[in-house]
Structure 1
Amino acid sequence: MFASWGTVAYRRRWIVIIAVLLLTVIGGAWGSGVSDRLTQGGYDDPGSQAAQVDKIIEDSIGKQGGDVVVLYTAPAGTTVDDPALAKKITDKLADLPKDDVSKVVSYWNTHLPALADASRTHGLATITLASTDQTKQSEQYAAIADKLAVDGVQTQIGGQAPLQKTITDKSMTDVEFAELVSLPLVLALLVVIFGSVVAALMPVLVGGLSILGALGVLRLISLGLDVNTFAVNVASLLGLGLAIDYGLFTVGRFREELAAGRDTAEAVRRTVATAGRTVAFSATLLVIALAGLMVFPLDFLKAVAYGGMSAVAIAAIVSLTLLPALLSVLGPRIDKLAVPWRRGKTANPEPRWLNRVAGTVMKRPALFVVPIVAVLLVLGAPFLNVKFGAADEKQLPPSDPGRQAIESITKAFPSTGNSVASIVVRGKTLSQADVGQFVSDAGKIAPDVHPVGAKGDVYVFNGNLPGDPLGDQAKDAVTALRALPHPAGTEVLVGGFTAKLADSTQSIFDRLPWMVAILVGATLLLMFLAFGSVLLPVKAVLMSALSLSATFGVLTFVFQEGHGAGWLDVTPQPMQVGVMVLIGALVFGLSTDYETFLLSRMVEARNKGLSTPEAVRTGLVRTGRMISAAALLLIVVTGAFGLSSIVIMRFIGVGMIVALVLDATVVRLMLVPAVLRLLGNAAWWAPGPLRRLQERVGIQESDELDEEPVREPELVH
């Protein structure tokens, strides 16, 4: 199939080029408007008890708290009770547009003692926006943001709506900056790798078009579903990084075919049948890995899955359509504009240093397997002590005014912070005595339990949880509150920040086995169909698991335990379980990606009659340089995204860099060849019935190519 498509791409090259360019450019132009439709929510399980509490409270007594919280600090020598100060603030708040604001509650229009601190120097105003839709709330907050400051009064603005808008705006700016930084660096590295400007431009062109196409798909998705801001970040990262990797492997294989003396038509056909098939197979595995995120109820993970799957699929489609067509037009001109030190020279597909590595690994495989596995396990050890938290203002750097505002508000008014539990007691048989007894019992667990409101058979209370809202003490208090005895026919529901975190974390753990089953099952099945071996897929899963555990351990060591956190300008804090799951899908998918490129050449050599050691050595020396180069390019791309001021993107960037460094060096270049050498001929084994099944429905393409012996690499001892 792939070889046939290579022939079609060659013969219809101009039609393919024009069609792909039009679709991606038009899609990208339309998709640029997706930034106006992005949301920042989706980190909580919408079906959880905590989410149910929010809905009950909103339906019964109205939404509590404000979408925007403003802290006004009285000038030196005055207090919040100063008449002139009170008039200026009340006039300012009264002038807010009614179309954007539904309610304003402040110390100055209610004189509630809870809205002024003990020193009377700080007063609070909470603003409820007119809409409950997060996208519209962002627009409404933008309309009032410049109308909140009062002359001569220090004004700090916090709350969920400002935090969401700040993170969204910074995320979009950071994406543009990352693309601006990474593309020139990637192009320069490709020129060095290929030794030709024309060859280097091909993967960059594919990467840019893949981003445009992914934006178009994301905007289409946003018409019916919520799309989180980070879906665009992940789509840009994967679209650019993987398209460049796919382009690198494809162009590299095409130049290799030309160097072997084949004409352009045959070189394109063989390139698509080999590298193109591997690209399609690799992209399919990565799309399935990202699809595993769809089993979780969190809209954040689903949105990121949409973005990632779109980017990977489009990167593969552009690599399998536009790139072969462009190579058909260029032919030998792919090496035009060669750098001075490469003019007149042909790239060596078998670097001497890789020959040395291959020879050493083949001689002493056990001496590589044991220490490498031990080091990876040691790197993964910190993950055994992982703690899970949630996205809050610490996603922003310590110097950010929005984060500082929220921290100032929480310090002056602890009751507005994340330590508050919302408690709903409802039931038609409730008496005042029952309610009083419940409040007394709850107060022993959460100090300062007090009524917020009641309507019909619903009673709402707030209580302050003990300890850190992300800590075990607060989580245990939520569990204890939910377990309190209550009269027959009634129920007690507990919500709030800590409860949402606990519920969302549990929902992820409950569904995690399904994601693991999807990842492992798809890898085992597809790799068996591709390579016809039982052990190769199992080995691939184990190698990916090792890389993943080491990556998780390093992330825990840095982002939770704080080692080196100062260099990254991040605040050590518990890990976000949703982001860890995302990293898991990405790292597992990318690990399998490089495994596929490596094994495809080994199996190709094995099918040509080489012995196991020679097939392993051939695959390593033919792909090792490209895998290292691909990892380096992806590190540059993810490194640029890691410069983001948003902790989640910095977390993803660092995680990807760690995974790529480990995977493309010690794992693929040393551990995998050493394990295969130890397995010997058993590496290619499959039971007879499975072998016959694979031959009938497998996805091999080697039989479409001319059979010719593969030249064994000359070992350098």
Structure 2
Amino acid sequence: MFAKWGSLAYHRRWVVMIATLVLTVMGGMWGLGVFDRLSEGGFGDPTSEAVRANKVIEGTFGRQGGDIVVMYTAPSGSTIDSPDLKAKVEKQLSGLPTDAVKTVASYWNIPQPNPFGSADKSKALVAITLQASDSNTQLKDFARFSDQLKVDGVETQLAGQIPVQKTISEMSGADLVRAEAVSMPIVLILLVIIFGGVVAASLPVLVGGLAIMGSMALLHAVSLGTEVNSFAINVATLLGLGMAIDYGLFIVGRFREELAAGRTTEQAVQRTVGSAGRTVVFSATLLVIALAGLLLFPQSFLKSLGYGGMSAVAVAAFVSLTLLPALLGILGHRVDKLSMPWRKRMAKSEGGAVWARLGKKVMKRPALIAVPIVAVLLALGAPFLGVKFGEVTEKVLPAGNEARVAVETLNKDFPAIAKTGLDIVVKGNTSQEAVQRYAERVAAVPGIDTAALAQEPKDNIWLLSASLDGDPLSDASKQAMLDVRKVTPPLGASETLVGGSTAVNVDSLNAISSRLPWMALLFIAATFILMFLAFGSVLLPIKAIVMSALSLSATFGVLTWIFYDGHLASLLGVTPSPLDSGIVVLMVAMILGLSTDYEVFLLSRMVEARNKGASNEEAVTVGLAKTGRVITAAAILLILVTGAFAFSQVAMMRFVGVGMILALALDATIVRMILVPAVLKLLGNAAWWAPGPLRRIQEKLAIHEGGDVDDEDDHKDDDNRPAQWQRFPQPVG
């Protein structure tokens, strides 16, 4: 099938090229509309008790608390009780658009004494609640009037959920642009060095650009039916460009190899798609399935990341299998035009002698090499055992940022306002006395400071507020919330619901932890089935899963050591804090997918050699020789693309950047180039074994490497090819 498609792509190359360009470019232009539909929310589990409680509260009593908290500092020598300051502030607040602002509560318009003034009378608060409930509209409305909140001659600070979200969104967008501006020129230069020519180097970049455009179109389509978080754009850009470069390296490299072996352009395109193209499809399928695991979680934030990643990988693979073969068919030997002086030297060393020698050295003492590497990887992963998870807070912003400073000042000078509590809903035909006794039982729970009625009852729904003693995300506060849910409800109550930020966080973490095993099961099953069908071995998929797990463990151990334990935190400019669970799950999906991606590239050439009769050691050596340079180059380029986020101003983006650098560096070098050959040597011929019935199923499906390429044509030039590509004698045993 793949070789036939390669032949069709060659014979209809102009049609395929134009159709792919029109489809992706037009789709990308339409996809720009997704930016008007992105949200900044979706972190909670919509089916959880906490979210249900918040919905009942909003539907019955209206939205509670302030979306925006404005802090005014009186000029030197004055206080917040100054009539002049009051007049200036109220003049500005009176002009706020009523279609955007629902309520304004300030130090000056609520009964005195109130908690909206600092103890020394130097600062006063204004809490603004917006009309809109969705984050996208809230951010747009806030942008309309944010400048109106400033008062001449008065220091003004903006805190609250919306200003923090707006700052994170703006910084993330700016970081994305900056990362691309910095990394792309370096990537282009390295591609020229790796390919030894300008024309060949430009092809993966073209595929990457089209992959990003196509993924924007798919995300726009998805946003018409469901919520899409803005971070999905970052993921789509990162993976679209990264995977396009990976696939481009593999396909263009194989095409040039076929040309160098004396094939015609048509034969080279056909054979490239029939071999490398098939590998790209398997690799992309595994990565899409790994990212599809994000759709198992109820949070729309995680689903959005899944949509972004799946779209980018799918489009990158699609363009790599349509536009790229067509362009190669058009270019032919001109793919080497504008070659660099070192291109001829590179062509002579295509056999990968360095990687072949490395493989041979590793296989001389496989146990001596494998055991220490596994021990080190497990040791690196140890810190992750003590990690704690949290949510996105102002701490993801750099120290000194205006929004972060405003929140920190609010927490310091207005502890009563900043103190986060629990919102408790009591539903049913109960009495005030029963509710009061219930509040007393809640207040007696360890970790709870006070509990009292917050609103007059409405439609047989009562609202209580319980304040927490400590940090709302501490273990003690989380346990207190769980204990409150166990408190005996009031007599006559049909249901009690506990909400608030602590409850939302706990419920979200529980939803993630309950579905992580299913995500792992999906990845393991998909990896085993697809790799077995591709390579016809039972042990190779198992080995791939174990290798990916080791790489994942080591990466998260180091990330925990830095971002949670605080080692090197000052050097990286981050504040140690619990890891954001959503970003961790995203990283799990990406690292598992990418590690399997490199495994497929490596094993495809090993199996290809094995199918020609190579022994176990010969197959491993040939696989390393043929893919070592490509995998290393792909990893370096992907590190540049994704690692640029390590310099982001936002901590969670920096977490992704550092994590990808660690994962790619470990996986593409230590794991794939050293540990995998050692393990394959230890396994021996058993590595390629499968039970008879399963082997027959795999052979019937005929999707093993090289199944579409004519065998006679495959070997007619063997005598003129490098030694490791001549037909091997059939191994014994």
TM over 0.5: yes
Q: Aligned pair in 2 of structure 1 residues 419, 712: CA closer, same or farther (>3 Å)? A: farther
Query: CA–CA distance in 1 between the matches of 2:14 and 2:285?
Result: 27
Q: How does 1:163-562 map to 2 (within 5 A)?
A: 163-343=164-344, 346-417=347-418, 419-428=420-429, 430-445=430-445, 446-456=448-458, 457-490=460-493, 491-562=495-566
Helix, strand or coil at the partner of 1:635: helix
Query: CA–CA distance in 2 between the matches of 1:327 and 1:690?
Result: 37
Q: Aligned pair in 2 of structure 1 residues 415, 500: CA closer, same or farther (>3 Å)? A: farther
Residues 82-128 of structure 1: CA distance to partner in whole angstroms, max 9, x if unpaired?
A: 11111111111111111221211111111451211222211111111
Q: CA deviation at 1:459?
A: 2.1
Preserved contact between residue 73 and residue 80 of structure 1 (Cα < 8 Å): yes
1:78 aligned to 2:78?
Answer: yes
Query: CA–CA distance in 2 between the matches of 1:396 and 1:84?
Result: 35
Preserved contact between residue 534 and residue 705 of structure 2 (Cα < 8 Å): no
Letter of the structure 1 residue corresponding to residue 53 of structure 2:
V
Q: CA deviation at 1:600?
A: 0.4
Q: CA deviation at 1:488?
A: 4.0
Q: CA deviation at 1:684?
A: 0.8
Q: CA deviation at 1:454?
A: 2.5
Query: CA–CA distance in 2 between the matches of 1:310 and 1:418?
Result: 41
1:667 aligned to 2:671?
Answer: yes
Helix, strand or coil at the partner of 2:19: helix
Q: CA deviation at 1:347?
A: 4.6
Query: CA–CA distance in 1 between the matches of 2:74 and 2:63?
Result: 29
Q: How does 1:612-691 map to 2 (within 5 A)?
A: 612-691=616-695
Helix, strand or coil at the partner of 1:323: helix
Query: CA–CA distance in 2 between the matches of 1:472 and 1:54?
Result: 22
Letter of the structure 2 residue corresponding to residue 461 of structure 1:
L
- Judge which range, 186-195 or 700-709, deviates more: 700-709
Helix, strand or coil at the partner of 1:168: helix
TM-score by length of 2: 0.95
Helix, strand or coil at the partner of 1:513: helix
Helix, strand or coil at the partner of 1:123: strand
Q: Aligned pair in 2 of structure 1 residues 324, 418: CA closer, same or farther (>3 Å)? A: farther
Preserved contact between residue 117 and residue 125 of structure 2 (Cα < 8 Å): yes
Letter of the structure 2 residue corresponding to residue 484 of structure 1:
V
Residues 614-648 of structure 1: CA distance to partner in whole angstroms, max 9, x if unpaired?
A: 01111011101110000000000011233222222
Preserved contact between residue 90 and residue 109 of structure 1 (Cα < 8 Å): no
Query: CA–CA distance in 2 between the matches of 1:290 and 1:418?
Result: 37
Q: Aligned pair in 2 of structure 1 residues 404, 101: CA closer, same or farther (>3 Å)? A: same
User: Could you tell me which of 699, 702, 708 is aligned with 1:704?
Assistant: 708
1:607 aligned to 2:608?
Answer: no
Helix, strand or coil at the partner of 1:287: helix
Preserved contact between residue 543 and residue 667 of structure 1 (Cα < 8 Å): yes
Query: CA–CA distance in 2 between the matches of 1:265 and 1:383?
Result: 51
Preserved contact between residue 61 and residue 454 of structure 1 (Cα < 8 Å): no
Query: CA–CA distance in 1 between the matches of 2:368 and 2:251?
Result: 34
Q: Note the aligned Cα RMSD (angstroms).
A: 1.5
Query: CA–CA distance in 1 between the matches of 2:722 and 2:707?
Result: 18
Query: CA–CA distance in 1 between the matches of 2:247 and 2:571?
Result: 33
Q: CA deviation at 1:133?
A: 2.2
Residues 540-563 of structure 1: CA distance to partner in whole angstroms, max 9, x if unpaired?
A: 101101101111101111110111
Query: CA–CA distance in 1 between the matches of 2:232 and 2:405?
Result: 27
Letter of the structure 2 residue corresponding to residue 415 of structure 1:
A
> 2:729 maps to which residue?
none
Preserved contact between residue 101 and residue 131 of structure 2 (Cα < 8 Å): yes
Q: CA deviation at 1:492?
A: 3.0
Q: Aligned pair in 2 of structure 1 residues 418, 578: CA closer, same or farther (>3 Å)? A: farther
Residues 182-238 of structure 1: CA distance to partner in whole angstroms, max 9, x if unpaired?
A: 221111001111111111111111111111111121112112211101100000000
1:581 aligned to 2:585?
Answer: yes
Query: CA–CA distance in 2 between the matches of 1:129 and 1:703?
Result: 62
Query: CA–CA distance in 2 between the matches of 1:410 and 1:636?
Result: 39
- Judge which range, 242-251 or 158-167, deviates more: 158-167
- Judge which range, 519-528 or 219-228, deviates more: 219-228
Number of matched pairs: 713
Query: CA–CA distance in 2 between the matches of 1:557 and 1:451?
Result: 43
Query: CA–CA distance in 2 between the matches of 1:174 and 1:515?
Result: 30
Letter of the structure 2 residue corresponding to residue 632 of structure 1:
I
Q: Aligned pair in 2 of structure 1 residues 397, 380: CA closer, same or farther (>3 Å)? A: same
1:100 aligned to 2:96?
Answer: no
Q: Percent identity?
A: 56
> 1:28 maps to which residue?
28
Q: CA deviation at 1:712?
A: 4.3
Query: CA–CA distance in 1 between the matches of 2:604 and 2:686?
Result: 17
Helix, strand or coil at the partner of 2:80: coil
Residues 432-480 of structure 1: CA distance to partner in whole angstroms, max 9, x if unpaired?
A: 3222222222223311323210323222222221222221111111111
Helix, strand or coil at the partner of 1:459: strand
Residues 596-615 of structure 1: CA distance to partner in whole angstroms, max 9, x if unpaired?
A: 00000000000000111101
Helix, strand or coil at the partner of 2:472: coil
Q: Aligned pair in 2 of structure 1 residues 19, 416: CA closer, same or farther (>3 Å)? A: farther
TM-score by length of 1: 0.97
Q: CA deviation at 1:425?
A: 2.5
Q: CA deviation at 1:517?
A: 1.0
Helix, strand or coil at the partner of 2:127: strand
Q: Aligned pair in 2 of structure 1 residues 674, 418: CA closer, same or farther (>3 Å)? A: farther
Preserved contact between residue 450 and residue 468 of structure 2 (Cα < 8 Å): no
Query: CA–CA distance in 2 between the matches of 1:314 and 1:521?
Result: 24
Query: CA–CA distance in 2 between the matches of 1:366 and 1:325?
Result: 46
> 2:14 maps to which residue?
14
Q: CA deviation at 1:328?
A: 0.7
Preserved contact between residue 115 and residue 417 of structure 2 (Cα < 8 Å): no
Residues 403-448 of structure 1: CA distance to partner in whole angstroms, max 9, x if unpaired?
A: 11122122222233363221223321x2232222222222233113
Query: CA–CA distance in 1 between the matches of 2:306 and 2:343?
Result: 42
Preserved contact between residue 277 and residue 321 of structure 2 (Cα < 8 Å): yes
Letter of the structure 2 residue corresponding to residue 85 of structure 1:
L
- Judge which range, 107-116 or 133-142, deviates more: 107-116
Residues 260-302 of structure 1: CA distance to partner in whole angstroms, max 9, x if unpaired?
A: 1111111111111111110111000000000011010011000
Query: CA–CA distance in 2 between the matches of 1:39 and 1:440?
Result: 39
Preserved contact between residue 466 and residue 477 of structure 1 (Cα < 8 Å): no
Instruction: List alignment gaps of at least 5 residues for structure 2.
Output: 726-733
Residues 32-76 of structure 1: CA distance to partner in whole angstroms, max 9, x if unpaired?
A: 232222111011111111111211211222111111111111112
> 2:47 maps to which residue?
47
Residues 469-498 of structure 1: CA distance to partner in whole angstroms, max 9, x if unpaired?
A: 221111111111111122344233221111
Q: Aligned pair in 2 of structure 1 residues 73, 374: CA closer, same or farther (>3 Å)? A: same
Helix, strand or coil at the partner of 1:398: coil
Letter of the structure 1 residue corresponding to residue 585 of structure 2:
V
Q: CA deviation at 1:514?
A: 1.1
Helix, strand or coil at the partner of 2:466: strand
Preserved contact between residue 418 and residue 496 of structure 1 (Cα < 8 Å): no
Residues 298-329 of structure 1: CA distance to partner in whole angstroms, max 9, x if unpaired?
A: 11000010010000000000000111111111
